[in-house]
């Protein structure tokens, strides 16, 4: 479910033009830390297109820079210095994580509520990274931090 949500966030988010021009002609969804999706994510995203580009999945090693990604999901990690979002301050990357057990500081955090996947949004963080999140998505979030 979360895997499909990753892709579905994309239409409700507007990246700055620089983010789409600079990268090569793909829409990149990156996963770092522990990967909770496995093959399922690849199956969901296969053949999908976003913003006129084919969607690709890249799994990042701990040392890889996430600068070229459009969406970065950070899973759990046992690494002591695990702070996947720190180098991305000001970068137009939509950061996603689990609230429960995942790293802090992401723009969208998955929350389990009554057995369903919901999310809360830090719109202030997104805006500081020049990402515009549609009000429709904000309306659906269970909580929105607008600062």
Footprint of another protein on residues 53-112 (CB under 8 A)?
A: none
By CB under 8 A, tell whether 139 contacts another protein.
yes
Task: Specify the stretch interacting with another protein by CB under 8 A; choose among 1-9, 69-77, 101-109, 121-129.
Answer: 1-9
Nearest to 119 by CA among 139, 142, 136, 135: 142
Of 22, 79, 104, 140, which one interacts with another protein (CB under 8 A)?
140
Residue 8: CB minimum distance to another protein, A: 4
By CB under 8 A, tell whether 5 contacts another protein.
yes
Output 21 or 139, the one with its CB closest to another protein: 139
The pair phi, psi for residue 111, each rounded to 5°, is -130, 140
Site residues (CB under 8 A) for another protein?
1, 5, 8, 10-12, 50-52, 116-117, 119, 134, 136-137, 139-140
């Amino acid at each position: 479910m979360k895997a499909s949500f990753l892709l579905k966030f994309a239409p409700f988010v507007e990246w700055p033009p620089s983010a789409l021009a600079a990268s090569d002609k793909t829409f990149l969804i990156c996963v770092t830390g522990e990967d909770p999706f496995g093959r399922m994510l690849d199956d969901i995203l296969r053949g999908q297109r976003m913003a006129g580009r084919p969607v690709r999945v890249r799994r990042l090693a701990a040392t890889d820079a996430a600068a070229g990604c459009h969406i970065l999901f950070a899973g759990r990690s046992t690494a002591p210095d695990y702070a996947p979002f720190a180098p991305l301050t000001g970068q137009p990357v939509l950061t996603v994580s689990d609230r429960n057990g995942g790293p802090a500081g992401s723009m969208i955090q998955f929350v389990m509520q009554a057995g369903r996947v919901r999310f809360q949004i830090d719109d202030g963080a997104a805006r500081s990274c020049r990402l515009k999140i549609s009000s429709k998505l904000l309306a659906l979030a269970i909580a929105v931090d607008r600062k």
